[in-house]
Amino acid sequence: MASHTRLNGPAAGTLVAVLAAVVLAADQFTKHLALGGLPYQREVPVLGEFFQLYLTKNPGAAFSLGTGVTWVFTLALAVVAATVIVLAVRSVRTRSWAIVLGLLLGGVLGNLTDRLFRAPGFPEGHVIDFIHTPWMWLWFRPAIYNVADIFIVTMMISVAILVVIGIRFDGTRDRPAAKDDAVETASAEA
């Protein structure tokens, strides 16, 4: 199983870096295509209501929240990116964590690149969004997102799964507390 595959520090760091670079490149390339080929803020049906393209520039977070404090999102993205890099260098020794953190880092860097280099300028650049799936959001306002957002959301879910199943950065697994208590009780009685 991938979660038990141990890597040395340089191998884990390289895997994180390569995956982050691939996601960053895919994100920026698709944004480039969207900016060059889509009308601004007009729906372009691809599969009817199921999948549409809709180019917009988002100054805020998800659902355009916090549009007046864009610099906060820039700072938060930078902190997340730095944290992932430090973890990759110091702690990650499994393929599963390296893959998850590499893909997460790529997504974070994709949106951070927009915040740093797109109009209206550093550090308040607007993130380019263009993927629209109205059916997905049920009773919420439909979101428009990008490739980086897809990786950020799915990899945060993956982080939660790895934590819940107890896989540590070094590949060891947490034992359930009930087993630990039973072992301690049995040892004390013996």
Mark residue 121 as left, alpha or beta (left: phi above 0; alpha: psi -120 to 50; beta: remaining).
left
Instruction: Output the 3-class SS for the chain.
Output: CHHHCECCHHHHHHHHHHHHHHHHHHHHHHHHHHHHHCCECCCEEEECCCEEEEEEEECCCHHHCCHHHHHHHHHHHHHHHHHHHHHHHHCCCEHHHHHHHHHHHHHHHHHHHHHHHCCCCCCCCCEEEEEECHHHHCCCCCCEECHHHHHHHHHHHHHHHHHHCCECCCCCECCCHHHHHHHHHHHHHC
- Is 170 assigned a catalytic role? no
Contact 108, 85 (CB under 8 A): no
- Is 149 assigned a catalytic role? yes
Q: For residues 150 and 77, give the distance between their C-alpha atoms in angstroms, rounded to a whole number.
A: 15
From the candidates 27, 149, 170, 174, which is the catalytic residue? 149
From the candidates 114, 129, 174, 180, which is the catalytic residue? 129
Q: Which residues are catalytic?
A: 129, 149
